[in-house]
Amino acid sequence: MTTPIDRPALVRRLRAAGCVYAEDEADLLLDGADSPAALADLVARRIAGEPLEHLLGWAEFCGLRVAVDPGVFVPRGRTALLVAAAAAVTGPAPAVVDLCCGSGATTLALARRLAPRWLAATDIDPAAVACARRNLAGLDVPVFTGDLFAPLPPHWRGRLDLVVANAPYVPTEAVALLPPEARLHEAPVALDGGADGLAVLRRVAAGAGEWLAPGGHLVVEAAESQVEALCAALTAAGLVPGVRHDEDLEATAVTARRPA
Ligand SMILES: C[S@@+](CC[C@H](N)C(=O)[O-])C[C@H]1O[C@@H](n2cnc3c(N)ncnc32)[C@H](O)[C@@H]1O
């Protein structure tokens, strides 16, 4: 936007509204607005609690710019660990599925990191699927609408080298305690993981035993407090779990191998 504006005043307003990175946000909002009226609208909505990424229409994830539509889960920086853990356990030219793909941020990062021979994604939320299709356009990555493995072409059953899932894992009672940005602006289905947060991940674990090739891996994100119960579910599904934690990212990824 070329019209002169009072940037310091904008920073002060954002800071007063609780935006921790007020200076960065001010610059991004200034870049994202093409008129003073558009800027005023963006700032008012930001101060009212809309996620910055929904206002801008994009988020940065693993060094990539990813479109994020209203209501769709905003990719979190900590999920870079999931991508790194997947890259660490996977051999060359893998067949990969990203379950619960959301905006497709994780799928896109996997496409860049892994050079897969086949990569597909699924999500149950049609808004997320539409967003992911846009982010993955031109990459020959099908995005299916449906519950976990259900929409996948059946001939991949037992042949996948890698299944990745950043499934919802917030316990139902804790959803109400999330920041308003998440609670009010991301779809509940993207957050709510049932009574102990592991309802979807238990089903992912059960399905992975069937869909992975022998020697293939499942990689999921979870809270540190859920690791013990999650590893028990993975073991019960016939998989061999391992845990990776990153203090800086405050992230936990759990890998699980289907024995050869
Ligand atoms: C935490 S978000 C993760 C999105 C993306 N992978 C990321 O990291 O940015 C979880 C996603 O799982 C989807 N989801 C929830 N339950 C699902 C299910 N049973 N089958 C497929 N997708 C599901 C939600 O719609 C949401 O997009």
Whether 2 shows a pLDDT value over 70: the answer reads no
pLDDT confidence of 5, banded at 50, 70, 90?
Answer: confident
pTM for the model: 0.95
Half-sphere exposure of 212 (CA within 13 A, CB side): 30
- Kindly state if the Cβ of 178 falls inside 6 Å of ligand 1: no
Q: What is the pLDDT of residue 6?
A: 87
Indicate the top mutation candidate among 58, 66, 73 to test ligand 1's pocket, ranked by most ligand atoms within 8 A of CB.
73
What count of Cα atoms within 13 Å lies in the side-chain half-sphere of residue 177? 5
Give the number of other CB atoms < 10 A from CB of residue 189. Answer: 14
| Closest protein CA for atom 7 of ligand 1 | 75
The CB of 100 under 6 Å from ligand 1? The reply is yes
Ligand 1: centre distance to CA 16 (Å):
33
The answer to whether the CB of 243 falls within 8 A of the CB of 223 is: no
58 ligand 1 Cβ < 6 A: no
Mean pLDDT of 126-139: 98
Q: Which of 14-18, 100-104, 233-237 has the lowest mean pLDDT?
A: 14-18
Alpha-carbon distance 198 to 222, whole Å? 9
**Rounded to an integer, what distance in angstroms lies between the CA atom of residue 102 and that of residue 59?**
13
Q: What's the whole-number mean pLDDT along residues 200-219?
A: 98
| Average pLDDT of span 167-190 | 96
Sign of CA dihedral 75, 78, 80, 84: negative
Residue 189 Cβ inside 6 Å of ligand 1? The answer reads yes
**Strand order across the 212-222 sheet:** 143-145, 118-123, 95-99, 160-165, 212-222, 251-257, 240-246
pLDDT band at 1 (very low <50, low <70, confident <90, very high): low
User: Does residue 75 have its Cβ closer than 6 Å to ligand 1?
Assistant: yes
The answer to whether residue 125 scores a pLDDT higher than 80 is: yes
Q: Return the pLDDT at 3.
A: 54
